[in-house]
Structure 1
Amino acid sequence: MLRKRRNSFFAALSPSAKELCFSATPGPVRAIFDDTKIVGSYHAITSEATTEIYHNLFVNRGKCLALPYFATRDVDMVFRRWNPGEPLERGPFDVMQPLAQAQEVTPDLLIAPLVGFDSNGRRLGQGGGHYDHYFARHPDVLRIGLAWSVQQCEAIPLEAHDQLLDCIITQEGVITPASSRLRVYAAAQTQER
């Protein structure tokens, strides 16, 4: 149902609206983006929230950009360095990923795709648990979901392995859960000034 809602919303957007969505960095996360050195993101497919503008923004600001990489279906997800315009290859999950020889890096901020989310930072992914496992292995990485506003749900069930997002960016703005580490980050930045 959530995929169908996302697909319908995306199909109804005009080409110019698709280009404008996510064209500006939302104020609440601008400082976090500026302080980030390595950003993990994803190559959007079908009706997923558009990442192309953010990718260009990060690279133009001198950030290292990385995308998920899978050697096989049976190994954990890692991130490999990539820049817009560089070649991608089709990975084992039929998603485009950096080439195998690209440098492996560990992001300090990760933008994750999702099928659904709620205001508490719970995320419904594609069902493989790859991002939850990555977050568990790298607990310090800041976790940002990127989604269309129609993907918001009243409540997403939380399972034992699920990891919460620090915020969700939609084309309408930023949702920061009460438990978000970004609130602590923002408070620390305010005190430093």
Structure 2
Amino acid sequence: MANKSRSAQRKKLRQVYRNKRRALSPLAQRRASISLARMLIANPQYRRSKNIAAYLASDGEIDLSILFAHACRARKIIFVPMLDALGRMRFVRYKPGDALGTVHKGFAAPARGKPGSRHLRFDLVLMPLVAFDNKGNRLGRGGGHYDRYFSSMAVPGKIAPLLFGVAHALQQAPGLEAAPWDVGLDAVATDRGIQYFRGVQSRTPCTVEN
């Protein structure tokens, strides 16, 4: 019964915060995108990162296209998620201007993209979310794709990628109850600033080959 109640509460929260971001005007969305891009471009973790996992915005998510343009000029490599034939999340390389396929279960991806290996390694991950709190807890869409993918990287002795949640500031919740399988965030980047958790401000991302 407790699990049912928790599930219902999380479902309700998702609806509340999805509605909040959907209600933003095109101008507000644009301003948020510009503000976020400026902060991330100046961020030392972003600047030191070579391989970056990100996302293509949908459903009112904060848009990263301005950041992608900078990343391309800076010769960084961008990957975005897609679902393979078995419904598992994989990442595919993306460049600004790539033709996009239809949005499938919330994932927009390049039309000709082919899912990469599960063993891709990233320096920085920019994760979309529905809501977050001030302890680094993240509420996603409910599919568990990001939790499954990045929990497999939490191996003792290995340096995991930096996990940055990305959202509009209005998506901050008073407090979220983390489920046992939820992957915590190292930081949250919004249009109003970057909030760190786990003391990662000075951590240097590890650049590894794909």
TM-score range with shorter-chain normalisation?
0.7 to 0.9
Structure 1: where are the runs of 5+ without partners?
A: 187-193
Structure-to-structure mapping, 1:4-23, within 5 angstroms: 4-13=16-25, 15-23=26-34
- Separation (CA, whole Å) in 1 of partners of 2:17 and 2:29: 16
Go from structure 1 to structure 2 and tell me whether the alpha carbon gap of 1:4 and 1:38 turns closer, same or farther (over 3 Å shift). Answer: same
Displacement of 1:52 after TM fit?
1.4
Contact 1:6/1:150, CA 8 A, preserved across alignment: no
Kindly state the Cα deviation for residue 162 of structure 1 after the two structures are TM-superposed.
0.7
Decide whether the 8 Å contact of 2:93 with 2:113 is kept in 1: no
How do 1:53-132 and structure 2 match up within 5 A?
A: 53-72=66-85, 74-90=86-102, 92-93=104-105, 95-98=107-110, 99-101=112-114, 105-132=120-147
Aligned to 2:169: 149
- Give the letter aligned to residue 18 of structure 1: Q
Greater RCO (Cα-Cα under 8 Å, separation 6 or more): 2
Task: Name the count of aligned residue pairs.
Answer: 183
RMSD: 2.5
Using the size of structure 2 for normalisation, the TM-score is 0.76
Question: In the alignment, is the contact (CA less than 8 A) between 2:124 and 2:163 conserved in 1?
Answer: yes
TM-score (norm 1): 0.82
Tell me the secondary structure at the aligned position of residue 155 of structure 1: coil
Task: Sort the Cα spacing of 1:87 and 1:118 in 2 relative to 1 into closer, same or farther, 3 A.
Answer: same
Q: Which region of structure 1 is more displaced relative to structure 2, 46-55 or 2-11?
A: 2-11
Q: Say if 2:169 and 2:192, in contact at 8 Å, map to a contact too.
A: yes
Does 2:179 align with 1:159? yes
Deviations along 1:95-120, whole A, 9 cap, x unmatched?
Answer: 32132447654322111110100011
Query: What is aligned with 1:173?
Result: 193
Runs of 4+ in 1 over 4 A off after TM superposition: 102-105
Residue 137 of structure 1: how far off its partner (Å) = 1.6
User: In the TM superposition, what is the alpha-carbon distance from 1:10 to its structure 2 partner?
Assistant: 4.4
* 2:14–2:139 CA contact under 8 A, matched in 1: no
Other structure's SS at 1:48 match: coil
Task: Give the whole-Å Cα distance in 2 for the aligned partners of 1:120 and 1:135.
Answer: 18
Work out the CA distance in 1 between the residues paired with 2:96 and 2:48. 21
Q: How many Å separate the matches in 2 of 1:143 and 1:38?
A: 13
Q: Distance in 1 between matches of 2:167 and 2:73?
A: 23
* TM-superposition CA deviations, 1:146-170 (whole Å, max 9, x none): 1111111121111111111111111
**Are residues 1:44 and 2:60 paired?**
no
Tell me, what secondary structure is at the counterpart of 1:22?
helix
